[in-house]
Amino acid sequence: MSRADIPHPYRENFNLKRQIGLIAFTGKSLKIFNQTPVTTLENVEGVEMLRAFDSNLKITTFETKYNSRAVDYPEDAEIVNELMKRDPIFPLYKDQLKELNKNIKN
């Protein structure tokens, strides 16, 4: 897990994969994660899951055919909010989105 390309395409170009983060913890794992100080790798990369990795917590991944858009900056959130309005199931979660956006702005 890195914000940089892994592996770095030093000698040749090839298709890289993207990480879509959905994080779920057991109660025990969450307690360990919360009690563990920020690790060097987490601090350098800005990726919280590196703390779980450094703490030897079990991490499970899987491939998906779905694409996503990163939300790293406020401008990204604005773009994603507009994209979600085109989502066919948007009516099912639009009220929660309004509440979330209201809380973020406060």
Domain boundaries, the chain: 1-68, 74-105
Confidence of residue 38 (pLDDT cuts 50, 70, 90): very high
Task: Encode burial over 85-106: b for 16+ CB neighbours within 10 A, e otherwise.
Answer: eeeeeeeeeeeeeeeeeeeeee
Give the pLDDT mean for 29-54. Answer: 89
Portion of the chain with pLDDT greater than 70, in percent: 87
pTM of the model: 0.56
Reading phi first (left if > 0) and then psi (alpha if -120 to 50, else beta), residue 56 is in left
Measure the CA–CA gap between 36 and 45, rounded to whole angstroms: 17
